[in-house]
């Protein structure tokens, strides 16, 4: 056998042995082999996360040969399009399950089509920065955290007036109004003692808008913020276009893998003393038809999730990528505040967008 075929052949042999071992183990316990079909839709942007998840899903097929697993791993907008097309297609059969990672707003749109929403990750929005550049300016993590507790005004003034700081203070990608709306929400709550306003009219968010305008007038934001998207604003901290970016944990998916070790974050200025953090919630939606407990779908709907949530699988993914895989809930307790960004298409919010013109 030629050398280039040795590794694929070895993997096939290992897969066959592993599969046989799993089947023998189930047989010894009197367990029937799970059968059914799973279609899975995963939201991941960058390598090596996409490749690592692809490997894990291929292994799942080996462990459960009776389960027909098909899956796509796509950026968010592509995932929404693919899932929408599938849900508008033929009805699900009784042995068929759809599993997908979606934002909470999407689950509202698909209400009635899924039986349960299992929390995936709820990550607080924070100010992320490259520790190398801030260290050059003489700021360590503890220094910045202490400064953030003094509020946004003190935070921005201290860093803007630093003699060695030539960059803009914040990056902002507002091509799709995000994270600009998140900024307004954070500032509004920070200047309202931790309370989120009722409704989404401009008057209800006036404090946030005024605080935003003050930061813009002070030169806190990269002047190119209107042209960049969210991912570009996240990467800008590496490119020296600004010291900080307001982001959730998705920054680890877009930041270059070898650079992730230098990422650090602090709470949004003013949030810690007011005892609040703004959450960005995602869910795993399990879409199944109405069925009895004897149906095949009832037995396999959690099979894939239990596999991905297992400690060994999660540890391998973390070691390969540097980011966590599908934690059931965030590791830090936080007070959830409904995300303004989930309402970005609300007609009332369109009035706010004039401040971006």
What's the confidence (pLDDT) of residue 107?
58
- Among residues 116, 248, 232, 107, the alpha carbon closest in space to that of 172 is found at 232
User: How many angstroms separate the most distant Cα atoms in the chain?
Assistant: 74
What's the confidence (pLDDT) of residue 178?
74
What's the confidence (pLDDT) of residue 287?
67
| pLDDT one-digit tens code per residue, 208-231 | 889 988 998 888 988 776 667 888
Which architecture characterizes domain 126-276+337-356 according to CATH? 3-Layer(aba) Sandwich (3.40)
Domain boundaries, the chain: 32-123+281-321, 126-276+337-356
- Among residues 90, 64, 3, 30, the alpha carbon closest in space to that of 296 is found at 64
What's the confidence (pLDDT) of residue 118?
44
Instruction: List phi, psi (to 5°) of 81.
Output: -65, -45
Q: How many angstroms separate the CA atoms of 147 and 134, rounded?
A: 13
Q: Does domain 32-123+281-321 have CATH number 3.40.190.10?
A: yes
- What distances in angstroms separate CA 202 from CA 174, 197, 348, 350, 352, one per listed residue? 18, 11, 8, 9, 6
What's the confidence (pLDDT) of residue 163?
86
Say yes or no: do domains 32-123+281-321 and 126-276+337-356 share a fold.
Answer: yes
DSSP state of 197: P
| Residue 158, number of CB atoms within 10 A of its CB | 15
Q: How many angstroms separate the CA atoms of 180 and 1, rounded?
A: 58
Q: Assign 3-class secondary structure to 30-97.
A: CCCCCCEEEEEEEECCCCCHHHHHHHHHHHHHHHCCCEEEEEEEECHHHHHHHHHHHHCCCCCCCCEE
What's the confidence (pLDDT) of residue 10?
44
**pLDDT of the chain along its 357 residues, tens only?**
544 444 444 444 544 444 444 444 444 444 567 888 898 888 776 677 888 899 999 999 999 999 999 998 887 667 778 888 887 788 778 788 888 776 555 655 665 554 444 444 445 688 999 999 999 999 999 999 999 999 999 999 999 889 888 888 998 887 767 788 888 888 888 887 777 666 667 777 888 889 988 998 888 988 776 667 888 888 888 888 889 999 877 777 677 767 878 888 888 998 877 666 666 555 566 666 656 666 666 667 778 878 887 888 888 888 887 766 764 444 444 455 556 655 656 666 677 777 666
What's the confidence (pLDDT) of residue 341?
59
Alpha-helical (H) ranges within the chain are 3-28, 49-63, 76-87, 104-109, 131-136, 141-148, 152-160, 180-190, 206-217, 230-235, 251-254, 296-300, 303-309, 311-321, 347-350
Q: How many angstroms separate the CA atoms of 73 and 79, rounded?
A: 8
**Nearest 5 degrees, angle CA 115-CA 120-CA 121?**
145
What's the confidence (pLDDT) of residue 70?
93
Q: How many angstroms separate the CA atoms of 186 and 180, rounded?
A: 10
What's the confidence (pLDDT) of residue 286?
66
């Amino acid at each position: 056998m030629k050398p280039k075929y040795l590794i694929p052949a070895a993997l096939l042999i290992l897969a066959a042995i592993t599969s046989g071992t799993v089947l023998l183990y189930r047989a010894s316990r009197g367990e029937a082999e799970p059968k059914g079909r799973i279609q899975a839709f995963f939201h991941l942007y960058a390598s090596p996360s996409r490749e690592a998840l692809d490997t894990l899903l291929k292994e799942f097929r080996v462990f459960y040969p009776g389960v027909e697993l098909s899956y796509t791993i796509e950026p968010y907008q592509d995932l929404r399009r693919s899932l929408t097309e599938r849900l508008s297609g033929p009805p699900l059969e009784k042995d068929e399950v759809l599993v997908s990672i979606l934002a909470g707003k999407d689950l509202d749109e698909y209400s009635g089509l899924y039986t349960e929403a299992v929390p995936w990750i709820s990550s607080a929005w924070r100010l992320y920065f490259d520790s190398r550049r801030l260290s050059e300016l003489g700021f360590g993590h503890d220094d910045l955290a202490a400064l953030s507790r003094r509020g946004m005004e003190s935070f921005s003034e201290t860093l803007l007036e630093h003699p060695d700081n030539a960059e803009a203070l914040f990056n902002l990608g507002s091509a799709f109004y995000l994270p600009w709306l998140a900024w307004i929400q954070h500032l509004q709550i920070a200047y309202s003692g931790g309370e989120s306003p009722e409704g989404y009219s401009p008057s209800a968010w006036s404090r946030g808008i005024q605080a935003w305008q003050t930061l813009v007038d002070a030169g806190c934001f990269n002047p190119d913020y209107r042209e960049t998207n969210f991912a570009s604003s996240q990467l800008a901290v590496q490119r020296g276009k600004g010291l900080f970016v307001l982001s959730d944990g998705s920054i680890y998916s877009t930041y270059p893998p070898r650079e992730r070790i230098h990422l650090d974050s602090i709470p949004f200025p003013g949030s810690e003393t007011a005892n609040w953090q703004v959450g960005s919630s995602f869910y795993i939606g399990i879409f199944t038809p109405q069925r009895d407990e004897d149906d095949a779908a009832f037995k396999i709907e959690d099979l894939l999730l239990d596999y991905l949530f297992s400690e060994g699988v999660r540890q391998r993914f973390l070691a390969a990528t540097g980011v966590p895989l599908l934690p059931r809930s965030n590791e830090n307790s936080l007070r959830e505040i409904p995300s303004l960004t989930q309402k970005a298409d609300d007609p009332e919010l369109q009035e706010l967008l004039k401040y971006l013109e």
